Amino acid sequence: MKKFLSGCVLGLFFLCVSQTAFAHFGMVIPSDSMVMQRDNRDVGVTLSFSHPFEMIGMELVKPEAFGVIANGKKQDLLGKLRKTRVMDHTAWTTDYKIKRPGVYAFYMEPKPYWEPAEDCFIVHYTKTVVTAFGDDEGWDEEIGLKTEIVPLSKPFGLYAGNVFQGIVKMDGKPIPFAEVEVEYYNEDKKVAAPTDYMITQTIKADKNGVFTYAVPKAGWWGFAALNTSDEKMEIKGEKKDVELGAVIWVKFHDWKKK
């Protein structure tokens, strides 16, 4: 009996660790987050869905919406997407030509993803910000997504070690004490977490919906604020919860030596 109970406890432990480790992230990753005068003005933007630290991909069907907001104008880019592969799964990509100075906010609204392991649907409203030719006005403006992280730190031009702050919002209103998952895009697979608990780090926003995180390493970092929708979706005649994620991807940099 003791062995049986020990086995159950051990199994539950590994289940909890597994659930902690395998965080989902919608991903919108540009080839360049800061376009300077001498840089290539064609920015590649890739959309995917994954566990970014472990580099485990999932299928991403063509999104419900994809576009960019720049200089006060919203442009639909859904028709520009081409199918590609990321982490051996279906993803989407496009090339966007930067023509003038400004801040370019790329965003994706995916179709709902059914996750049997969590018994819920997942919809991650995902964005990233690219700045061009020295113009950084409007980096903190809201896109107007169902749920969104509005940056309080510039989401570009950041060093590893800087803190990143944002406000978690739903329907334009701050969400007190929202839970935010943070994960590193382990693109070259050169880093490993000491334990499964450190693959995804979890923080909570304060009563005003503001969260703060100090990034320890250069590279792309994803911040995903997760909440449950008031509405449910149906599968096989059963109504299921819908996880709404507000996701932002931010690039951090090392110092350059002379």
pTM: 0.90
**According to the model, what pLDDT value does residue 12 have?**
37
For residues 48 and 27, the answer to whether their CB atoms sit within 8 Å is: yes
Residue pLDDT tens, the chain, 258 long: 444 444 443 443 333 444 444 689 999 999 999 999 888 889 999 999 999 999 999 999 999 999 999 988 999 999 999 999 999 999 999 999 999 999 999 999 999 999 999 999 999 999 999 999 988 999 999 999 999 999 999 999 999 999 999 999 999 999 999 999 999 999 999 999 999 999 999 999 999 999 999 999 999 999 999 999 999 999 999 999 999 999 999 999 999 888
Residues whose CB falls within 8 Å of the CB of residue 49, separated by 6 or more in sequence, listed in order:
24, 25, 26, 27, 57, 58, 59, 60, 89, 91, 110, 113, 124
**According to the model, what pLDDT value does residue 246 have?**
98
Which tokens in the block code for residue 86?
Answer: 């990321």
**According to the model, what pLDDT value does residue 129 have?**
98
Q: Is the dihedral of CA 191, 195, 200, 201 positive or negative?
A: negative
For residues 222 and 52, the answer to whether their CB atoms sit within 8 Å is: yes
Q: Is the dihedral of CA 122, 171, 92, 23 positive or negative?
A: negative
C-alpha angle with apex 244: 206 to 184, nearest 5 degrees? 70
Length of the chain equals: 258
